[in-house]
Structure 1
Amino acid sequence: MSNGNKNDDWLKGMKSLLIITSIISLGLIGFYAFYTRGIISSKQSDWAAFGSFLSGVFSFFGAIGTVGVMILAIKQFKVQQAQIDDQNKRQDDFESRQQKKWDKENEMLNFQKFLLHKTEFKKLIKDIESSDDFPFEIKNIDKLYALMFAKNSFEETSYAYQPQDELDFFDMCKHRLDEAIRFNYRPMDNTPQAAFREIKKFRDYLFCEGKNRQCVGDILIDNRSSGINVFEQDKTFKQLLSLIQRLQDFCGNTLPIQPTYPGHKTSNNLENYALSSQCEFSSAFKPFQGLKELIELQREAKNHFTDGFNINVSQLENKDYIEKIIEDFQHGITVFNSDEGNPNELEWKLKAFKAKVSNAYKIPVTWHT
């Protein structure tokens, strides 16, 4: 039984007791009046006795009333306390519901922020891939995003670069670039196969693979263009470095990443690999006549001119462009011979290339001595 019900029972009991007491008191007063025969006494002692009688009766009434007031006050206090508790409960329920609503809204905002940030990242990657000069496509954008923003999730998103605990993405990019350059520009220290493997490692770390294209000089991996062209070694490094720098700009990373070339730069390791039996090429439309001879010519040129000659692979099916290549190489040989005074291996390589393409493209062979 609750305290409120107990108080109600007490009040009912006090009310009944008060009624009974009133009846008894009236009966006593009537008996007193009958006993004294209703005669008004002139004796002071009689009035004193009557006053004592009334005092006793009304003192009892007062005691009952006091107890009743106390019980009523307790009941009112309990009612007020119950109202306060109920109000507090309703307030707590309201605040709890409001907090849940805010948490839900905050969760939705974080979710939208995460999706928006990831969408912007994918948009950046697609923008990079859309360039005709960029020979790669990113095969796993989600993994690349996770490497750069390791702590981002639906609950919390930061626009700043967040390296994984055990791996710093951009430090590793710098390391891969340095290793690829070291292996490819110091052929006396490394095998051609190792040099190509380091370029591939650098490419793979960025989740890159070659676009579905066919350019003369593209090296194949698993019957697909690797995006690495035997005539565009420097361009490959610049393209991958450009990708890294765009990623740094997106996340605010400021680590300086630049190619560090050896003091004595030679760069014919990729040509050596291309001429090995392990290498397979793709070519546009039809096999390019003179590819092997052109690679040998470029390799020899790099022995005399650090970076060799610039070759536009997209034009290697064009007869006029091939004639221009021959003229450029011939001019270089002429300049070199004027300094050295003797024919050299470069001249013999050019003759071999001219002989190969003369039949395929009907280019007249004219020898310069």
Structure 2
Amino acid sequence: MSYSPDIFCILGIISGVSLHTLLYRYGDWDTKSPTLVLAYLLAMLTGTIGLQYSSSVQNLWRGSLADIWRLFAYHLMGVYMSMLIYRAFFHRLVRFPGPILACLSNFYITRLAAKKLLLHEEIHDLHAQFGDYVRLGKTFLFEYPSAQLILHASLPIGPRELSITDPAAVTAIYGTRSETTKGPWYTLLDPRTPMSFTRDKIEHAARRKIWDQSFNTKSLDAYEPLVTKCAQQLIDVIDQRLDKSIEMSTWVRYYAFEVMANLAFGKPFSMLTEQTESYFLKVMREDMKLVGYLRHLPWLSTLLMRTPVVNQNNKRFWRWIEGQFSERIEVKDPSIPISLDLYLMRICRVQDRNMIPSSCMEMVI
């Protein structure tokens, strides 16, 4: 059985436009990119097998595979045609000024970020050109459903970020009665959900109460010796280099992460004493650079983090984190100084488990 090329064109474009209009405009699809890739591959495989039974035996494989690829190509064409038209003319942020390309694709703001990893300077220049409200694309920082002040529209498929320098917007975004919530970008670490990545306000409030108990006056007094010890190590490093130049940003970074290591893991990284970068800091620094490039392409970040082989370094890092906490939980030596992780684990034992994450590790991260 043969099919007219026009049929594949019409069916593909109609299916693409329909899928975007009825489905892709709603929900957090960017963070579901691995699922979408698998779904499309499965659909192509199923279609190929199905067409084999309706093709002539002579052109069994070649014909069916070519037909499926043609239909798939037209389908994607329909999706992107619908998406670009919607973003350019019908998106709820269309009334805000901004670069035309930024309204169509996140690759525009990604290109700005990739120049020198100084996106804040690029955005400053755009505000000088367009004013207090600039439509730039999407970063999934916040969502604000109100029609009065649309900070980040709830329709996720189109560029939906507004960069705002208007002081009047501060209360609407950060006020106690604000309706803003963290956007889908904060699902990047799923299934792990650190407190800073928690999007649900009720869950965040419950977890924040636990953290608050770990930062009262008594707790801070207990942490002080750890911080003082790290500060003295930094001073010693500076004293050793008084007669020559020193890259302070590196040593201050070592100091900051040394304090965090003592508080989060109950043991030092020894970066100040050994004067070398720890595994943890190296991974964090490399990952933050990658985030700087891909922050505005969450679909690609999610795909990379969940693709086997590609995500081996990420999986190795989290195994290392889990190992550090497993060691810490097993330590019973009372002579070891109290630290943030012990406070949080103690509180976890007496709190309602339904109100906090099952893993204390997530409380500390």
TM-score by length of 1: 0.22
Larger radius of gyration between Structure 1 and Structure 2: 1
Q: Bigger relative contact order, structure 1 or 2, given CA contacts below 8 A and separation 6+?
A: 2
